[in-house]
């Protein structure tokens, strides 16, 4: 290593040793450790995903030495250790299992690697703000791999292995690394380089992805006053046969998608799969301002070894969820009708949730650690998503602001004010309810009743009434199947199916109950999640014929449902009800006045 790297307080070395066994060898050298015994630890959770994950569980072995002499290590709790006392350079050697194929962990095999520092790099207590160097050695089984990361590259060629730098431990664990046979794309925007790195897919129209992502990014940059808080941003994309997910970082994002989500050369369609990918990109890019820099005050002083509770997740995830599809519309990648389809599906997610009558939006945010990220079969009856309902409240707030200020103040203006006060001017974080006060001060409106109802009661925001003032009609219908996510008017003339108060899931040819609604006929009769449906009204049930069997039954009829429960045959008498009208779809109205037309044009551009 050169003199610059040798002068760093902490140096990490990562070797990709055993791809078949998914083992990484990570060495940490501390130049000036605590002579009375250096404490170090691994985090328990990763910012952006609010659940205790205990990354120390992936540690396979650990040893330590000072100037080459072995010293003992004492484990203090589930993720904290202390190396024995001594003076000199402390070296901690570890082997870590990396087989988490998600954006929240680390993964390594013969095909590619994704390194999340949160899983690999020990926090050296007392040295959190010291400069760190990371040396990454290419795997022995291939010399063709390339590398992409938000870390500052110190040595070696661009996109190659070498030495990297982080100015603090917080920065170190916020700069993931993607490796493999990468495909690269690039564009510049607002004076900053944007790099695209894709692994797992070769037949990709990179020029189109570059063009479309640039349009999305530009739409969000405009919301935040036209500037970006970085010089370089990296999209780290892992394409799989099946998968979906994203996690935000300060100058990058980790994304997982299906290979079929990405566009092929000579295919100019913007189908559902590609729209899903673009929506994910839009969501994570918006986060680079809104949660990575503007963040809840509770997160500023949070440690990663225990939960950090906040009632504000709806602000950071819900508002971002409102802007992700809106960003596609503003970028010109979808039409207003398609945007309304997406919005209808999001609203359907709220209206179908019985949990919205039990849990407020602030409670949903606060209990994310134990409820949203630990959902069970009763979750639809018990909780509400701060993503979906948060997006609903953001929609209602935007329309309310536009309506009451006659277009002079919108949610865009609120986000710019939020960025200036809590992103640019201070790093103290957003105090509880400060967003509400800021919106009222900037708009000149009294919104106390709106926020109290939307956030601290279980009453739905009046989005239907608000949308009507913008030339958009909200309608409800019955679901046509368990896979019907809403957003469209459905199939003309199709009769709604009877409703037993249950949703199903397929397991091969078998059909199992996914969940039962707490007030539905299935729950009253005694049916439960994971029961395997065997027969309905005397006829055998399969994954393929369930809908046809339902079509034979009319609301009000009592039928026998037979199931296997833990391999025991059980019989239940259930009364069929009319299918609930819980599926939402939106449409543009044609008969409207000039004021309504103006408001809709300002909002949707049509």
Mean pLDDT of the chain: 95
Q: What is the pLDDT of residues 56-82, one digit of tens each?
A: 999 999 999 999 999 999 999 999 999
335 close to 325: Cβ distance less than 8 angstroms: no
The alpha helices in 230-358, defined as continuous H runs, are 272-286, 297-300, 313, 319-330, 336-351
Q: What is the pLDDT of residues 562-602, one digit of tens each?
A: 999 999 999 999 999 999 999 999 999 998 999 999 999 99
Q: What is the pLDDT of residues 298-318, one digit of tens each?
A: 999 899 999 999 999 999 999
What DSSP state is assigned to residue 102?
Answer: S
The helix/strand/coil state of 192 is strand
Query: Which residues of 141-203 form beta strands (DSSP E)?
Result: 146-149, 152-153, 162-166, 177-180, 183-189, 192-199
CATH 1.10.390.10, applies to 183-274: yes
With a CB cutoff of 8 Å and minimum separation 6, the contacts of 572 are 522, 525, 526, 527, 560, 561, 562, 563
Distance (Å, whole) CA 574 – CA 501: 10
471 close to 589: Cβ distance less than 8 angstroms: yes
The answer to whether the Cα torsion of 541, 547, 553, 558 is positive or negative is positive
394 close to 261: Cβ distance less than 8 angstroms: no
Distance (Å, whole) CA 298 – CA 425: 18
pLDDT confidence tier of residue 2, bands split at 50, 70 and 90:
very low
Distance (Å, whole) CA 488 – CA 508: 28
Distance (Å, whole) CA 278 – CA 338: 13
Instruction: Indicate if the pLDDT at residue 352 is higher than 80.
Output: yes
Residue position matching structure tokens 């590619």? 112
What are the start and end residues of each CATH 2.60.40.3650 domain in the chain? Answer: 3-180
pLDDT confidence tier of residue 213, bands split at 50, 70 and 90:
very high
Q: What number does CATH give the domain 3-180?
A: 2.60.40.3650
Regarding the domain delimited by 502-575, which CATH topology (the fold level of the hierarchy) does it fall under?
A: Pdz3 Domain (2.30.42)
73 close to 64: Cβ distance less than 8 angstroms: yes
What are the start and end residues of each CATH 2.30.42.10 domain in the chain? Answer: 502-575
Q: What is the pLDDT of residues 449-496, one digit of tens each?
A: 999 999 999 999 999 999 999 999 999 999 998 889 999 999 888 888
What are the start and end residues of each CATH 1.10.390.10 domain in the chain? Answer: 183-274, 297-466
Spelled out in words, what is the top-level CATH class assigned to the domain 297-466? Answer: mainly alpha
Structure tokens at 449: 């009743």
pLDDT at 429: 95
Residue position matching structure tokens 């009763």? 378
Instruction: Indicate if the pLDDT at residue 15 is higher than 60.
Output: yes
Neighbours of 290 (CB within 10 A): 24
- Section 105-118 average pLDDT: 97
Distance (Å, whole) CA 373 – CA 371: 6
């Amino acid at each position: 290593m050169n003199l610059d790297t040798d002068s760093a307080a902490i140096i990490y070395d990562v070797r990709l040793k055993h791809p078949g066994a998914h083992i990484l060898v990570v060495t940490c050298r501390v130049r000036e450790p605590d002579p009375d015994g250096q404490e170090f630890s691994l985090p328990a959770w990763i910012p952006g995903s609010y659940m205790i994950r205990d990354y120390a569980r992936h540690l396979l072995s650990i040893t330590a030495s000072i100037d080459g002499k072995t010293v003992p290590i004492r484990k203090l709790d589930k993720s904290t250790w202390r190396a024995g006392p001594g003076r000199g350079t402390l070296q901690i050697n570890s082997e870590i299992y990396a087989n988490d194929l998600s954006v929240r962990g680390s993964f390594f095999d013969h095909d590619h690697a994704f390194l999340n520092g949160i899983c690999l790099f020990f926090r050296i207590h007392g040295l959190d703000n010291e400069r760190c160097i990371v040396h990454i050695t290419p795997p022995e089984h291939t010399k063709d791999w390339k590398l992409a990361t938000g870390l500052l590259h110190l040595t070696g060629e661009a996109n190659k292995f070498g030495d990297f730098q982080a100015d603090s431990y917080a920065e170190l664990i916020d700069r993931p690394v993607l490796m493999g046979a990468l495909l690269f794309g690039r564009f510049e925007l607002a004076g900053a380089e944007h790099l695209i790195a894709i692994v797992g897919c070769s037949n990709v129209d990179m020029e189109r992805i570059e063009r479309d992502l640039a349009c999305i990014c530009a739409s969000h940059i405009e919301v935040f006053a036209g500037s970006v808080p970085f010089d370089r941003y990296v999209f780290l994309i892992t394409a799989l046969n099946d998968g979906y997910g994203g996690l935000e970082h300060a100058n990058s994002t980790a994304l997982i998608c299906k290979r079929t989500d990405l566009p092929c050369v000579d295919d100019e369609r913007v189908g559902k799969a590609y729209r899903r990918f673009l929506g994910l990109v839009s969501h994570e890019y918006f986060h680079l301002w809104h949660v990575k820099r503007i963040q809840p005050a509770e997160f500023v002083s949070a440690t990663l070894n225990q939960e950090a509770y906040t009632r504000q997740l709806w602000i950071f995830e819900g508002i971002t969820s409102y802007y992700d599809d809106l960003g596609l519309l503003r970028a010109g990648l979808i039409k207003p009708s398609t945007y309304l389809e997406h919005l209808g599906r999001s609203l359907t997610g709220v209206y179908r949730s019985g949990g919205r009558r039990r849990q407020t939006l602030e409670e949903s945010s606060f209990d994310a650690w134990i409820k949203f990220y630990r959902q069970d079969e009763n979750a639809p009856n018990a909780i509400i998503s701060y993503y979906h309902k948060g997006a609903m409240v953001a929609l209602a707030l935007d329309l309310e602001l536009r309506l009451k200020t006659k277009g002079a103040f919108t949610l865009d203006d609120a986000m710019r004010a939020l960025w200036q006060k809590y992103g640019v001017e201070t790093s103290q974080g957003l105090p509880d309810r400060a967003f509400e006060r800021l919106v009222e001060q900037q708009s000149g409106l009294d919104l106390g009743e709106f926020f109290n109802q939307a956030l601290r009661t279980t009453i739905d925001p009046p989005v239907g009434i608000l949308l009507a003032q913008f030339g958009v009609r909200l309608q409800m219908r019955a679901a046509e199947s368990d896979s019907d996510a809403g957003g469209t008017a459905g199939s003309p003339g199709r009769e709604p199916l009877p409703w037993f108060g249950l949703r199903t899931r397929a397991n091969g040819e078998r059909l199992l109950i996914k969940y039962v609604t707490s007030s539905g006929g299935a729950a009253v009769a005694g049916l439960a999640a994971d029961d395997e449906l065997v027969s309905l009204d005397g006829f055998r049930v399969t994954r393929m014929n369930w809908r046809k069997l339902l079509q034979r039954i009319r609301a009000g009829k009592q039928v026998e449902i037979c199931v296997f429960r833990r391999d025991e045959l059980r019989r239940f008498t259930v009364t069929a009800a009319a299918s609930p009208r819980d599926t939402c779809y939106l449409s543009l109205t044609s008969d409207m006045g000039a004021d309504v037309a103006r408001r809709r044009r300002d909002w949707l551009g049509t």
